[in-house]
Amino acid sequence: MTADVLVPTSADEAASLYGDGAGITVVGGGTILLPEIAVGRAKPERALMLHRAGLGTIEVAGDRVVIGAMAPISAVADVPDGALGQVARHLADGEIRRTATVGGNIAAAAAADAQRGDLGAPLIALGARVRSTGAGGERIEPIEEFLAGDRGRLVLDVQYDRFERRSGTAALRRRHAHSFSVAAVVACARPDGSDLRIGVSGVGPTAVRCRAVEQSRDAADVLSDVEPIDDAVASAAYRRAVLPKLVRDALDQLEPA
């Protein structure tokens, strides 16, 4: 069966063609979807191609950053906020970073053998918001709420506010460049320690916000926020053992030198 191919030339047209998402397969960079099609796990009926929809820009204006859903990971590596750029620069390899998109990274479902969405942790720590469209129309919501939902929506952009922050990142990765993190932690706070936000990715189906640690500043409380799982990358027991250490490392980086 040949899929119907839809190629919108604007964000508004993309939103209109997507509708409520029924029967639509969104095609961004294709780094996740195309292998799924190749092995027969994905069989699109209607493919919404976003490469001409004008969603690939990154705007840094005043106190706000807006990253279009089609912006490649390689471009995100250059945004002027340390935590997000640092994670983006270490995601997969150069070939993937030049092709994979921000929207695909945060919207893709977890794989059967590994977790996805490494950008979720820094975006949570930055207090990012996701603008999306789908059933019920357009909405903007905190990224942690978007990730906790069904994610059956078309991501238009991700945005966050800029202000002076300290940031800390800690991650455990496999040697292979294409591997996802075993666990990754990003923490951000103002220089006086206020507005602490912590995101964790790689240990479950989606990145999560660690509210218990934000309140207590105790790294061990991360296991109250996160329930690690087993997959082909690491066991749940291993993740439970290393995660508090990674959180402690990220928190220590927030302290003045």
Rounded average pLDDT over 216-228: 96
Amino acid at 52: R
Which residue did the predictor score with more confidence, 8 or 36? 8
Q: What is the pLDDT of residue 232?
A: 82
Q: Is 256 exposed, middle or buried (0-12, 13-18, 19+ CB in 10 A)?
A: exposed
Q: What is the pLDDT of residue 56?
A: 97
Distance CA(74)–CA(95), nearest Å, equals 9
Closest CA to 248 of 203, 200, 205, 207: 200
Phi, psi of 250 (to 5 degrees): -65, -40
28: which DSSP letter? S
pLDDT band at 18 (very low <50, low <70, confident <90, very high): very high
pLDDT in tens, 61-119: 889 999 999 999 999 988 877 799 989 988 887 888 899 999 999 998 766 656 678 89
Which residue did the predictor score with more confidence, 41 or 131? 131
Q: What is the pLDDT of residue 115?
A: 65
Which element (helix H / strand E) includes 42? none
Rounded average pLDDT over 205-224: 96
pLDDT band at 228 (very low <50, low <70, confident <90, very high): very high
Q: Is the pTM of this model over 0.75?
A: yes
Q: Please, are residues 144 and 125 in contact by the beta-carbon 8 Å criterion?
A: no
Is the model's pLDDT at 1 over the cut of 60?
Answer: no
Apex CA 87: angle with CA 81 and CA 92, to 5°?
145
pLDDT in tens, 170-208: 999 766 555 678 899 999 999 999 999 999 999 988 999
Q: Please, are residues 76 and 58 in contact by the beta-carbon 8 Å criterion?
A: yes
Q: What is the pLDDT of residue 2?
A: 60
* Per-chain mean pLDDT for the chain: 91
Q: What is the pLDDT of residue 198?
A: 98
Phi, psi of 133 (to 5 degrees): -135, 160
What's the per-residue H, E or C state across 190-247? CCCCCCCEEEEECCCCCCEECHHHHHHCCHHHHHHHCCCCCCCCCCHHHHHHHHHHHH
Amino acid at 58: I
Q: How far is CA 256 from CA 190, 196, 210, 251, in A?
A: 11, 15, 22, 11
Q: What is the pLDDT of residue 186?
A: 97
pLDDT band at 42 (very low <50, low <70, confident <90, very high): confident
Percent of the chain with pLDDT strictly greater than 90: 71
Rounded average pLDDT over 132-143: 96
Is the model's pLDDT at 216 over the cut of 80?
Answer: yes
